[in-house]
Structure 1
Amino acid sequence: MRNQRKHSGSRAEPEVRRASGLGVFYLLVFAWAWGVGLLYAVASGPMVRVFGEVTLGNPLIFLTVWSPTILAFAVTAVHGGRDGLRDLVGRIFRWRFPLRWYLAATFGVAGLTLGARFLQAHLSGAAPPPVGDFARWPEFAMGGLAMMVLDPGPIGEDPGWRGFALPRMLERFNPTTAAVLLGVIWAVWHLPAFLFSGMPQSSLPLGWFCLSMVSVTVLMAWVTINTGGAVIPAILMHWSFNRFSDLGQEGAMYAALAYTAGALLVIIGTCGSLGFRAARAGASAPALGRVRR
């Protein structure tokens, strides 16, 4: 049942005000992304003439990918004021947490992807993928930095989904339910991208893509919770997912099942809490919020 305890002191008001903006955030995020998609669908000619084709190089599309972060700040400013903005910025730039969570965030999805490719090769009788080609060392570091700048997804989305929405979801649902629901919402938000050939999602199998998004969201929630609500681990995991995942027609099933297996292991290993109870004991209330059991 929902935790109904009243919190005394200065923390109570920011938590109550923070929770009130979640519905507005989701409404605006979908209105922006789906609205742009609808305009391109029904008025393709004028939209292309004014803004260009639907690609990540289109400034309007780039801003649309950034809409979760942009709207997280806007809604926080209205519903949370200065305290809410300080809380959000603090979680986005929180970097002091154990090294193992940096490694889990950066290499966890990459390891699952590599395992999926080896399994696919074994079952199909093909040659296993060269690890050197998979990671492309030593280009990994420089390529990763470039992708952080050129790929709008991790920085443009995760402060919104993981920094703004996840703590509010944890105030309403238990951690596993919150993560799965957020993953479904995240996947549905991407659906307009499947309609346009200039977007990466247009060539991906929809079902396996959605399963991957939900599973990776559980993993992102796990690292975010265990770092006291920090957003950096989610950004790193999102980057790793975009860089290494093979969601094409041949590899999508194996990748999606690997991510699902990883998510299930985390859920089972933490008894569904995703580490929330242990992390909550050492985190401030605004970082993770109250949790519904």
Structure 2
Amino acid sequence: MATPGTRAVPEMDSRSLAAFLAITFAITWGILGGYIFWSAPMITLFGALHGGHPLFFLATWAPAIAAFAVVSWHGGGDGLRAFLSRLTFWRCPAWGWALILVVIPLVYMAGSRIKGGPLLAPLPPEGAGPVVSLLLMMLFLGPVEEFGWRGVAQPLLQRRVAPLWAGAIIGTIWGLWHLPAFFLSGVVFAEWQFLPFFVGNVTLAILVTPIFNAARGSLLLPMLFHWQLINPFWPDAQPWDSWILVAVTAGVVWLLRDRMLTREGVVTDVIPPGLEHLK
């Protein structure tokens, strides 16, 4: 029963997760599939697909679009505002911030050095300015996905399974969601190997899980985590970054096994309870 001054929000369940995934895959695979199977008409109508193309942004934003649709359907405007309030959840133990700000960059640097590359990505002749601009643009690509993966999918899955398995399931879905991009030229995925990337997706989804739960379901921290993954200042470390991340994640899971293997205290709310402050 809703407390006085609040509006009851219909419970989100497995059907909500199914709807989120259906919308997400329909948008992304629909756009990328069009360029794969009907490339000539798509290029004629919309131009060649590349990392700055509006349709590439739309395909990338699909998890967020799906999340907003599902949350709005269940909670209306109040529910959506409460959902977005999770962007203000910044408190997290120091180890969570260290994973984001220190460990992820070190993984890229170590992977690059193993393959004989530099510690940082080489700057273009124009200097750091274009790289900073790209970094800011990246903020509006991958991190926006987290409205869906950690915003909706993670809490709903954690109602059923322990955080470790919720992260692994999301990582598997996340990796498969990217698959069509590996068949397209003009985007960065065309230059990578899918298997290490897929392993990396599963690993990263597990690694961000304890941060997500320790920060009470924050959307901010997973978005910063994701931003680090696509930071253009970090060197290309494929495929070694994926394998190093497996080792790092295994260590984190072992150290935090009490958090990762039990559902006690995990975040299960997509829409934070208590909407009276929105009235």
Do they fold alike, i.e. is TM over 0.5?
Answer: yes
RMSD (Å) for aligned C-alpha atoms: 3.3
Is 1:257–2:243 an aligned residue pair? yes
How many pairs does the alignment contain? 267
Is 1:40–2:35 an aligned residue pair? yes
**Match of 2:255, as an amino acid?**
G
Give the 3 Å change call, closer, same or farther, for CA 269–41 of structure 1 in structure 2: same
Instruction: List gaps (5 residues or longer) in structure 2.
Output: 274-279
Provide the residue aligned with 2:145 in structure 1. 157
Provide the residue aligned with 2:255 in structure 1. 269
**Could you tell me which of 67, 71, 74 is aligned with 1:76?**
71
Identity across matched positions, percent: 25
CA distance in 2, matches of 1:159, 1:222: 17
Following superposition, the deviation at residue 16 of structure 1 comes to 2.3
TM (norm. structure 1) is 0.78
SS in 1 for 2:32: helix
Provide the residue aligned with 2:108 in structure 1. 113
Give the 3 Å change call, closer, same or farther, for CA 53–93 of structure 1 in structure 2: farther
Following superposition, the deviation at residue 134 of structure 1 comes to 5.7
Which shifted more, 65-74 or 150-159?
A: 150-159
CA distance in 1, matches of 2:38, 2:78: 42
TM (norm. structure 2) is 0.82
CA distance in 2, matches of 1:42, 1:187: 21
Instruction: List gaps (5 residues or longer) in structure 1.
Output: 1-7
Give the 3 Å change call, closer, same or farther, for CA 267–58 of structure 1 in structure 2: same
Provide the residue aligned with 1:203 in structure 2. 191
Give the 3 Å change call, closer, same or farther, for CA 12–110 of structure 1 in structure 2: farther
**Match of 1:271, as an amino acid?**
R
Provide the residue aligned with 2:277 in structure 1. none
**Match of 1:214, as an amino acid?**
V
Query: Residues 56-94 of structure 1: CA distance to partner in whole angstroms, max 9, x if unpaired?
Result: 221112111111112210111112334532332011332
**Could you tell me which of 211, 214, 228 is aligned with 2:216?**
228
Which shifted more, 74-83 or 94-103?
A: 94-103
- Say if 2:138 and 2:230, in contact at 8 Å, map to a contact too: no
Provide the residue aligned with 2:155 in structure 1. 167
Give the 3 Å change call, closer, same or farther, for CA 277–17 of structure 1 in structure 2: closer
- Say if 1:18 and 1:84, in contact at 8 Å, map to a contact too: no
- Say if 2:156 and 2:268, in contact at 8 Å, map to a contact too: no
Provide the residue aligned with 2:23 in structure 1. 28
**Match of 1:262, as an amino acid?**
V
Query: Residues 9-51 of structure 1: CA distance to partner in whole angstroms, max 9, x if unpaired?
Result: 5599647236541110001111111111221122212211221
Give the 3 Å change call, closer, same or farther, for CA 82–210 of structure 1 in structure 2: same
Following superposition, the deviation at residue 284 of structure 1 comes to 8.9
Following superposition, the deviation at residue 112 of structure 1 comes to 2.0
- Say if 1:176 and 1:272, in contact at 8 Å, map to a contact too: no
SS in 2 for 1:273: helix
